[in-house]
Amino acid sequence: MMNYSSGPPDTGTQTTDSPAVRAEGLTVVRGPRTVLRGLDFTVPRGQITGLLGPSGCGKSTLMRSVVGTQAKVTGTLDVLGHPAGHPTLRTRIGYVTQAPSVYDDLTVRQNLDYFAAILAPGRAAADRRHSDVTRVIEDVDLTSHADALAGNLSGGQRSRVSLAVALLGTPELLVLDEPTVGLDPVLRRDLWNLFHDITTQRGATLLISSHVMDEAERCHRLLLMREGEILADDTPDALRPRTGSETVEAAFLHLVDEAVAAGRKKETTR
């Protein structure tokens, strides 16, 4: 499905050794609430990191912080060697929001032409845009639907169009907010296979959120979140034995129980 002729992206010599994302004391306040509470974590390059936790725990807020669209972010947040939101990161990050927008009255190719023109405007870039659009349509396996109106596609095909938009310009970091929500098991599996292809064939870094714990097993690394805090930052293989659990879901529940018990202890000793 994927066919990249180019090697790993040129990330610049001074930044290749640093992690894709490094957060220290990352805090976000939204209205009266502290939504992210002084988080420390890193996202290694060239791997799939899963950001997992129940609805409302702060996954989308964390992702918006990484891509630079979240207000009231404090602490340190470096992305690809620059502070989050730095202008040079714009073309190096691909982002798919939780409610991705594709235009129903445009075809798959027209949607991608439109977003490609925003990324690389001007007549001089026309040839590059055309081949880029053809490549990403191929990457997400929609070549046979390239001329179909987006409004006539199935849910799974629409999410692949959004993913194709994020792949334009071969970004080094892909931030995907719950990309598999509402998809049937077969489509979910296909999409996860595609995510793995993107990391192995292109060396890209993926940060993918989900509230479905079984998806954790497909990630290289996990950030388990609850109520604006990170309960664990580990590999699935290390997490299961560490908590004496058979699945990541059981490990997560174990960590939640521990956190609740620690919270109670704090309350009673106050």
Ligand X SMILES: Nc1ncnc2c1ncn2[C@@H]1O[C@H](COP(=O)(O)OP(=O)(O)O)[C@@H](O)[C@H]1O
The interaxial angle of helices 155-167 and 126-139, nearest 10 deg, is 140
**Binding of ligand X by 59 (CB under 6 A):** yes
Dist. CA 98–CA 178, nearest whole Å: 6
On whether the CB atoms of residues 141 and 153 are closer than 8 A, the answer is no
Stretch near ligand X under the rule CB under 6 A, chosen from 49-57, 157-165, 190-198, 246-254: 49-57
Residue 222 to residue 51: CA distance in whole angstroms: 6
The Cα–Cα gap between 207 and 45 comes to: 10
Residue 107 site contact among Mg ion, ligand X, none (CB < 5 to 8 Å, cut-off depends on kind):
none
Residue 149: CB minimum distance to Mg ion, A: 28
| The dihedral formed by the CA atoms of 110, 86, 208 and 57, expressed in degrees to the nearest 10 | -120
**Binding footprint of ligand X, residue count (CB under 6 A):** 12
Phi-psi region of 148 (alpha: psi -120 to 50; beta: other; left: phi over 0): beta
**Pick from ligand X, Mg ion, none: which does 57 bind, CB < 5 to 8 A by kind?**
ligand X
Query: Which range of residues in 90-98, 218-226, 237-245, 254-262 is near Mg ion by CB under 5 A?
Result: 90-98
Of 49, 60, 107, 180, which one interacts with Mg ion (CB under 5 A)? 60
What residues between 61 and 80 interact with ligand X by CB under 6 A? Answer: 61
CB of 28 to ligand X, least distance (A): 8
Using the rule CB under 6 A, give the single segment among 9-17, 26-34, 138-146, 234-242 that binds ligand X.
26-34
Strands (E), 69-127: 73-79, 82-83, 93-96
Determine the size of the site formed for Mg ion (CB under 5 A): 3
Residue selected from 21, 26, 48, 57 as contacting ligand X according to rule CB under 6 A: 57
Q: Tell me how far apart the alpha carbons of residues 179 and 34 are, in angstroms, rounded to a whole number.
A: 26
Residues of this chain that bind ligand X (CB under 6 A)? 30-31, 33, 35, 53, 55-61
